[in-house]
Amino acid sequence: MANGENNNKDNQNSNTGISSSELAVIGAIITTVGDAISLIAALLALEEEQQAQSTQDDSNNMQKQIDHLTSELEKVKKQVNMNKSKWI
């Protein structure tokens, strides 16, 4: 009789619940999805960092050009002032 009760309980558990193997598969799927999301986030962060570096490089280049043009403008101003003083 005890053997029949155990079989009956096992049948009830297998009919109403999820087996440990099924839970393991579900857990593995959730873990895989989480890893995929983490990978996407890391790739996006890397892309943002590269874009920020590119923007910084562009800013530095523009600043160098501005500095060079300012220097050239100062030279032209000095030449104009020197020529002006010669005429006076």
Is the Cα torsion angle 54, 60, 66, 71 positive or negative in sign? negative
pLDDT in tens, 40-80: 999 999 999 999 999 999 999 999 999 999 999 999 999 99
Looking at the structure of the chain, the number of domains it has is 1
pLDDT in tens, 1-55: 455 555 555 555 555 688 999 999 999 999 999 999 999 999 999 999 999 999 9
The counts of H helices and E strands in the chain are 2, 0
**Does the pTM exceed 0.75?**
no
